[in-house]
């Protein structure tokens, strides 16, 4: 891998631009070398940090895929046409991802998500308004 522009955020602070010089798999995690981070103490400040890439560095999603950022803000309706709200954010528990729609945490799995149309910014789900 050549040098790659990226953005890093630790402890929910603001993202800032960095240059990634290498990436390698390390179990379920990644080991990332960032230009200018030369000591174990400096690296420790970035343990479990979030790293983002510019959109242009990402491949286009397949027709049945979507990036989380494209889902946030989509209107969510259930099979009966009731609007549950808009996707506020996404989360993961390791087993699967979650659509967070107000007080609703909807598993982002085929059993509950029927359709996703990022162009129309709509998601249809098998979910009821009184479910949490």
pLDDT at residue 89 greater than cutoff 60:
yes
90 near 106, Cβ under 8 Å? Answer: no
Give alpha helix (H) positions in the chain. Answer: 40-44, 68-71
What residues contact residue 46 under an 8 Å CB cut-off, 6+ apart?
A: 8, 10, 34, 37
- Cα angle: 71, vertex 96, 132; to 5 degrees: 75
> In angstroms, rounded to a whole number, what is the distance separating the alpha carbons of residues 34 and 8?
10
Is the pLDDT score of 28 beyond 80?
Answer: no
pLDDT band at 2 (very low <50, low <70, confident <90, very high): low
> What Å distances lie between residue 4 and 8, 28, 39, 117, CA to CA?
12, 21, 20, 30
Of the two residues 26 and 28, the one the predictor is more confident about is 26
Domain with CATH 2.30.30.240 in the chain: 68-125
pLDDT band, very low/low/confident/very high, at 26 (cuts 50, 70, 90)? confident
pLDDT at 1: 55
Contact between residue 86 and residue 73 where contact means Cβ atoms under 8 Å apart: yes
Does the pLDDT at position 127 exceed 60?
Answer: yes
Residues 95-122 have pLDDT tens digits of: 999 999 999 999 999 999 999 999 999 9
The domain over range 68-125 is classified in CATH as 3.50.50.60: no
- Mean pLDDT (the chain) is 91
């Amino acid at each position: 891998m050549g040098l790659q522009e990226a953005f890093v955020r630790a402890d929910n602070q603001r993202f800032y631009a960095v240059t990634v010089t290498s990436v390698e798999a390390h179990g379920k995690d990644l080991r990332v070398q960032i230009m200018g981070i030369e000591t174990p103490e400096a690296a420790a400040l970035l343990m479990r940090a979030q790293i983002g890439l510019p959109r242009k560095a990402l491949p286009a999603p397949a027709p049945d895929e979507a990036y989380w950022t494209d889902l946030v803000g989509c209107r969510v309706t259930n099979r009966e046409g009731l609007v549950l709200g808009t996707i506020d954010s996404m989360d993961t528990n390791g087993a699967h991802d979650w659509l967070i729609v107000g007080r609703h945490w909807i598993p982002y799995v085929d059993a509950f998500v029927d359709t996703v149309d990022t162009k129309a910014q709509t998601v249809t789900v098998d979910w009821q308004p009184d479910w949490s």
